[in-house]
Structure formats: structure tokens, C-alpha cells
Amino acid sequence: MKALIVEDKAYIRKGLLNLLQLIDVDVEVIGECESVKDAVVVANACKPELVFLDINLLDGTAFDFLEQTESLTFKVIFITAYEEYALQALKTGAVDYLLKPVDIAELQIALQKVEKLPIAEQKQQIKTVKEVWNNEGTKLILSLHDSFQVIDLNELLFCETDKGYTTFYCSDGKKYMVSKTLKEFEEQLSKANFTRPHQSFMVNLKFIDKYDKSGVIHLKNGKKIPVSFRKKESFLTTFLHWNNN
């Protein structure tokens, strides 16, 4: 398997080369690149089957490179200094990544996994990752039963949690249920105009039509969300503040 290493640090590239030599695997490193610009050129020229791809490069990111080499068919193993959200969301999926410094055992597992993987499926998932990456803060990846669903937070009305499951209600009427608690999404949602007026609900401030003083939020689509007594004050503060800006 012809492989290309895209990594901005020379010693890390050397290290990875050395590691690949240490394990008994059919990988031939045909090139090393330190920038997006170089990598695109080399990839087009050498047509690698596998690319070890650092996420942060000097002149761009891994996704810039992927975009420019869309016509090429190669599998990707991401290399990153720390776990990016976009990758984390797909960890159970077809995209694998290695954390620096690279562990030899993890490298072996990743190689085995990537060998069996249908290239189309990986491409699809990488697209998802890329989308989330580029729109960090506005996109959310939901790990559904059989797929990864990207939802736009600007189109998410509210979410409701119940017995360890969280349901996401979108403006197009679709709803998705994941087996995670609301708490796991709270931080990310809070960054994007969401508020939690009730233990079981997070609401997109954008979609609030009115707040009934009896303690009920009316959404623009008519849905009613209760406001718990304890959170009434903090909700009102957030709500009024948001509307004033």
C-alpha cells in the first residue's frame, strides 16, 4: 500500500517512518509533505492509497487538502495532537485517527481497520467531519442507530431529554433521538443561543415566539415548553438579554 505522510514537523514524519518500519505491514511510504500546498501536488503526482494526515498544517488544515484532492481515491488516517470534537463524534465510525505521539499498537490497529474499509463509506464520513469542522459551533453530529446525522443548530428548535434519551426537534419537522443525556450536549448548545429553561429541555432562543408569564414558552411553531420555577429567573435574564442584542 502506497502511503503519503502529510505532517509539518520533520521529526514527526521521521518518527512515523521509523514506526512503520518496525511493524510488519505492507506499507510503502512514497512521499512526505509538510504543507497543504506540497501535499496536493505530491498526491496528484503519486496517487497514494493511504494518507497519514495531520489535522493542523502550516498553511491550512487537513480538510483543505482533502477538498483539493477530492477526485483522488485514498484512505485517510488522521494524526492529531489532541482529540478534536469533529473526530471524537465519529470515533466509532469509519474514520480513524492517531494521537501524537503515535503508539505503535494503535498504529497497527488503525492500519488493519483502514485496509478493510470501503473507500466510499470513508469518504462520506470524512465529508461529515469536514462539515462539522468547518462549521464548528453551528453543526452537531448525532450518532444515530445506523448513521451519523449532522444537524444545523440554526435549524434546531429544541431538544428534550427523557430517561437517558434525548430527542432533537428540527425546524423541518424532523426529529432525531440519541441514547445520550442532554447534559452531554449542553455545553455545545449553550454556545449557540440555546438555553435550558427546564431540566428536560433546551430551547433555541431564536425560535421563541413569546414567554407566557405563567411560566410557559411558546415556540414559533406553536410548541409549548415549560419553564421550571427554579430556572425562571435565569431564563428570563438570558431571554431578555438575547432579545435586546
Partner 1 sequence: MNPINKYILLLFSFLFFAGNVQCQNIAIDSLQNELSRHVLKDTTRVNLLNALAFSYFSKDMAKTLEYLEEADAIAEVLQFKKGEARSIYIRGITEAIQANYDQALGYYNEALQLYENIDFKKGIANCYNAMGITHKNKGELRKSVSYYKKAIRIEDEIGSNNLSASLLNLGTSYEVLGDFDKAISYLKKALSIAKADENEQRVAYSLNNLGNVYQGQGNYPLALEHYNKSLYINEKLGDSLGIANNLLSMGAIYKIQEYYDKAMRCYEKSLEIYKRIDSKNGISLILNGIGTIHEEKGDYSSALDNYVDALSISKQIGAKSSIPYILNNIGEVYLALKDYRTANHYFTESKKNGLEIESKQALCGAYIGLARTYTNQKEYNSALSNALKAKKISKKHGFLDYQKEASEILSKIYKATGNYKDALESHQQFKILNDSLFNKENVEKITQLEYEYKYKQALYSASIRELKLTKTVIATNKNLEQSQKNLLLGVIAFLMLALVLGVIIFFLKLRNEKSKTQNIVIEQKLLRSQMTPHFIFNSLSVLQGMILNKEDKKSVSYLSKFSKLLRITLENSRDKTVLLSQELMAIENYLTLQNLENESYQYTVLVDDAIDRSLVKIPPMLIQPFVENAIEHAFVNQKENRKIDIHLNYLNKELICTITDNGIGIDSQKENKKPNKKSLSTTITSERLKILSKDFNMKGSIIIEDRKKHNEQGTVVTLVIPYKIQVA
| Residue numbers 108-137 binding partner 1 by CB under 8 A | 134-137
From candidates 23, 28, 44, 59, binder to partner 1 by CB under 8 A: 59
**Piece in contact with partner 1 (CB under 8 A), picked from 93-101, 206-214, 216-224, 231-239:** 93-101
Omega of the bond leading into 101 within 30 degrees of 0 (cis): yes
From candidates 99, 117, 170, 192, binder to partner 1 by CB under 8 A: 99
Interaction between residue 35 and partner 1 (CB under 8 A): yes
Task: Tell me the CA distances in angstroms from 134 to 31, 148, 157, 158, one per residue in order.
Answer: 27, 17, 22, 23
Shortest Å distance, C-beta 214 to partner 1? 30
Interaction between residue 37 and partner 1 (CB under 8 A): yes
Is 136 in a helix, a strand, or coil?
A: strand
Interaction between residue 62 and partner 1 (CB under 8 A): no
Interaction between residue 23 and partner 1 (CB under 8 A): no
Q: Tell me the pairing of strands 75-80 and 96-99.
A: parallel
How far apart CA 188 and CA 185 sit, in angstroms, is 6
Q: Helices H, strands E: what count in the chain?
A: 8, 17
Shortest Å distance, C-beta 14 to partner 1? 5
